[in-house]
Amino acid sequence: MEILKMLVVISITFIVMKIIVTIESYRTKNFALSTKQCLMFCFGWAGMRPQLFEHYGQRQLEGGGEMIAFGLKRIMVGVLLLCLAHQLIFLNANPTVIYWLTSLILLVAFSLILHFGLLSISAGILRFKGVNAGYLFKSPLKSRSLTEFWSKRWNLAFSEMAAIVIFKPLKSKIGQTGAVLAGFAFSGILHELALSLPVNTGYGLPLLYFLIQGVLVVLEKVLLNHQIYILQHRVIGKIWTLFWVIVPAPLLFHKAFLLQVVWPLAGIVHISGLQ
């Protein structure tokens, strides 16, 4: 039931975001999408740039095959990790250790299957139809700052949407810092709907996670403005980014969501002895 609730909430939120982005994108010019193009934008792609679908059905673009192959490889790795997770729960080890290790593997597996697998395949297919679709998750491990991670490498669909409906309208009213924090707060609210509402607990934790990210992104900008370049160091920047993305992650993926949604979605039951 929790899984169904999550899927319903995500689907409704996703479609509402699509409608808002489309309205904002064409508010000052004539609407250029046909009914078929609108439907493909809403249901055939996770990105938030409807203008790309003005070319749907036209000349095939290069790179589609490579993106499909990329996605298939990630799905294969994700499936192997799911199989590994199924074996871990039978280890004679501390239940808490097994819980954290299994949860981490499941999150990585589902991310590979969805974010890097299915979304890459859908983008590749759209390129065969003339849509200049690209990767929405672009080598996040290469990020050297949280700013780069959240704006250029992780979930570009949300970045595109936030830029159109949050950052640009609010920047002139509350300033760049306020607009950045508002964008992260909005992301936190969306994740509350997707991760806390289906299990009816954990409220406030996903929001806190993204507020932390927003504050740290603002801090990065402050350091640059004061010509403090320590985070520009390649190694230090990567360590900083990975630390702040991963270490607070239990706030985002709290225990109730993991045990009631992620584990059942993988077909894994509770570990005996886990409180």
Note the pLDDT of residue 273. 55
Q: Is the pLDDT of residue 197 over 60?
A: yes
Mean pLDDT of 188-211: 95
Of residues 247 and 18, more confidence is placed in 247
Note the pLDDT of residue 95. 83
Note the pLDDT of residue 239. 95
Spatial separation of the C-alpha atoms in residues 165 and 21, rounded to whole Å:
7
Q: Is the pLDDT of residue 271 over 80?
A: no
Q: Is the pLDDT of residue 259 over 80?
A: yes
Of residues 1 and 75, more confidence is placed in 75
Note the pLDDT of residue 163. 84
Mean pLDDT of 64-84: 97
Q: Is the pLDDT of residue 34 over 80?
A: yes
Q: Is the pLDDT of residue 33 over 60?
A: yes
Spatial separation of the C-alpha atoms in residues 42 and 57, rounded to whole Å:
16
Which pTM value belongs to this model?
0.92
Asked if 76 and 116 touch (Cβ cutoff 8 Å), the reply is: no
Mean pLDDT of 258-271: 86
Asked if 81 and 49 touch (Cβ cutoff 8 Å), the reply is: no
| Helix residue ranges per DSSP H, 60-113 | 64-88, 95-113
Dihedral of alpha carbons 153, 112, 237, 103, sign: positive
Give the percent of the chain with pLDDT over 90: 60
Give tens-digit pLDDT for 134-188: 999 999 999 999 999 999 999 999 888 888 888 888 888 898 899 999 999 999 9
